[in-house]
Structure 1
Amino acid sequence: MSTNKPTYIYKIVPSSAPPPDPLPDTLPLSELDAKSGFIHFSTAPQVLNTLKFFFKDDSKVYLLRVVYDHVDKDIRWEDPKAENCGPRGGEGMFPHLYNGPKLGKGEVESVKALEKSQSGWDEVVQGAQLEGWLVY
């Protein structure tokens, strides 16, 4: 991880498990997060490839925007093993939330629904960047 910490980190949630509105104190863990013992996050530059590799069959997801300073003390920056999708060069270390792990209304600043376009996730992610919601 570089010395520059991000403003936000992002949790991608499939449309099959939408976050409740309003958000509870603690959201349920995904099967992957429960099995891993931590919550998987992506930085803004990592979101697109995470969508392409792990949400390629989804047509809609929810992106949870988490203020990094709210979870900083429980984040570990770890290299992806790339066992599921092969090498993901240039993406660097991924933020993983340990110590609980707990994620809910105290950590999530906002939620955005993303719907995949005919051409895939690229256009949708670019739109979230242009409107200033997906912050690099």
Structure 2
Amino acid sequence: MELNNITHAPGAKHAKRRVGRGIGSGLGKTAGRGHKGQKSRSGGYHKVGFEGGQMPLQRRLPKRGFKSTTLKYNDEVTLADLQQLGAAEVDMLTLKAAGLVASIARVVKVVKTGELTTAVKLNGIGATAGAKAAIEAAGGSVA
């Protein structure tokens, strides 16, 4: 086989639909656009949500605020962060004051990244199974 012998599979290529080329094509006269109206004119179309001049739905409804259900205000702290912090007891306020978690965070969890050599007592903070084992191995506790 050579490059000049390569062809498309039978039925893979279709002839382009030629509109407005006579009655025999099935798409003559109005070229499949029907009679009159905005959609039959050249350049005549509208943007998504346009309702013919009527006030669109997204503008008729009142503006309301919302609280995202996908953003649960969760944050993570690593073992290395706790090591750098150097506090014996750690709670939410301590982490927020140190800037390790966002001020809007409600739930904080310690993850096992890095190493912890000092004893740390966690109050009101969760920990993964690996992080909990590492904290307890260093002489700390998770409350």
Q: Would you call these one fold, judging by a TM-score over 0.5? A: no
Larger Rg: 2
Q: TM-score, normalised by structure 1?
A: 0.24
**More relative contact order in 1 or in 2 (CA 8 Å, sep 6+)?**
1
Q: Which has the higher strand share?
A: 1
